[in-house]
Structure 1
């Protein structure tokens, strides 16, 4: 058991995860006295930064290699940053977590979902977020939302991103208590307000 609050933001590339994470973090810092830790996967630690470069900007990798590297990053991320912060009572907000691996490496790369999930469950000692916000966006909008050179996953192709989106939606429908599904094509202010409304009771404050 931990005394903190763990929230993850999931969704396809360009869905606005970092924007909504930042908005929620700013609001929590203003509305409460809680410590807020903002992080991401991969890249939330020094080791993660190295793995992020390999995973997103390095040479092509086989699906199993990719899944193992993401799981290794996550295990270190939880052990060195997330769990200590939760034990301090912090609110931890992460841009991607375990569900991204299942969606991308199982849904997108067509590995077995249970095997991909088990890698991360083992590596994190079964730590799951209290809330997972899914910013759902039709992949048809991806080209207009990606700035600069696309990374390895962003340029994986339309069918890959369609499968990834469906994998996220399937996981959300299977566990509605944990997931909050938001239409990422809606106005950013409305999306942010809906997320605050959902999270506020967990913090004992009004949205």
Structure 2
């Protein structure tokens, strides 16, 4: 893992399809920006060519092929977008990161250790948030929205993803990642976003204290 810490703060948001990641990311970004902080919002897969190939290719690419695409896009996005923003001192809000790879590539039967090998050297987030909750509620949201990938179109997707994200949380913590699980099926999006913004401000305070 990349252990060099940069001036900015990386917040990643992961969770099952339909749990509300994109809405939460937007609300967190807007709230942080209103408070006067420099914020850079992004997502994975990225909007670069590699990312678009991974985003729209889940029916074509599977297993190691998709895992390699997602990892390559992450490494490229870090070098060209995320790390430069962190160097400038921004709070980077990233919709999906390594936790999503652990889950989705795991659903494709790619071993966890292989996913970590492909993601070797990625920048460790200052704060990794995994949104989770009741699988039936998440599934209903997903069906109302429509699936964006073959994973989300699978009939048992929500239950499988909820279970896999719980395992991913444990795996990330074993590697000393700062991970917080947030229940996202009971409170309104604004309340969830406010709780995450509070975590960000706390992390910024701790970071300032560590780097006088």
User: TM > 0.5 between the two?
Assistant: yes
Picking from 121, 134, 144, the partner of 1:138 is: 134
The secondary structure found in structure 2 opposite 1:13 is coil
What is the match of residue 118 of structure 1?
Answer: 117
Picking from 145, 153, 156, the partner of 2:154 is: 156
Contact kept, 8 Å, 1:135 with 1:183, in 2: the verdict is: yes
CA offset digits 1:52-71 (Å, max 9, x no partner): 2223xxx3333111111111
What is the match of residue 167 of structure 1?
Answer: 164
How far 1:177 sits from its partner (Å)?
6.0
The TM-score, its normalising length taken from structure 2, stands at 0.83
CA RMSD of aligned residues (A): 2.2
Task: Measure, in 1, the Cα distance between the counterparts of 2:118 and 2:39.
Answer: 27
Contact kept, 8 Å, 1:3 with 1:89, in 2: the verdict is: yes
Task: Measure, in 1, the Cα distance between the counterparts of 2:40 and 2:190.
Answer: 22
How far 1:142 sits from its partner (Å)?
3.9
Contact kept, 8 Å, 1:44 with 1:77, in 2: the verdict is: no
Of 44-53 and 84-93, the range deviating more from structure 2: 44-53
Contact kept, 8 Å, 2:27 with 2:190, in 1: the verdict is: no
1:105 aligns with 2:84: no
The TM-score, its normalising length taken from structure 1, stands at 0.84
Task: Measure, in 2, the Cα distance between the counterparts of 1:135 and 1:98.
Answer: 14
What is the match of residue 9 of structure 1?
Answer: 13
CA offset digits 1:9-58 (Å, max 9, x no partner): 000000011111111111111113x3211101113435423432223xxx
Task: Measure, in 1, the Cα distance between the counterparts of 2:80 and 2:196.
Answer: 27
The secondary structure found in structure 1 opposite 2:57 is helix
Of 2-11 and 112-121, the range deviating more from structure 2: 112-121
What is the match of residue 189 of structure 1?
Answer: 190
Contact kept, 8 Å, 1:135 with 1:181, in 2: the verdict is: yes
The secondary structure found in structure 2 opposite 1:153 is helix
How far 1:103 sits from its partner (Å)?
1.1
What is the match of residue 36 of structure 1?
Answer: 39
Of 177-186 and 165-174, the range deviating more from structure 2: 165-174
The secondary structure found in structure 1 opposite 2:66 is helix
Unmatched 5+ stretches in structure 1: none
Contact kept, 8 Å, 2:51 with 2:70, in 1: the verdict is: no
The secondary structure found in structure 2 opposite 1:154 is helix
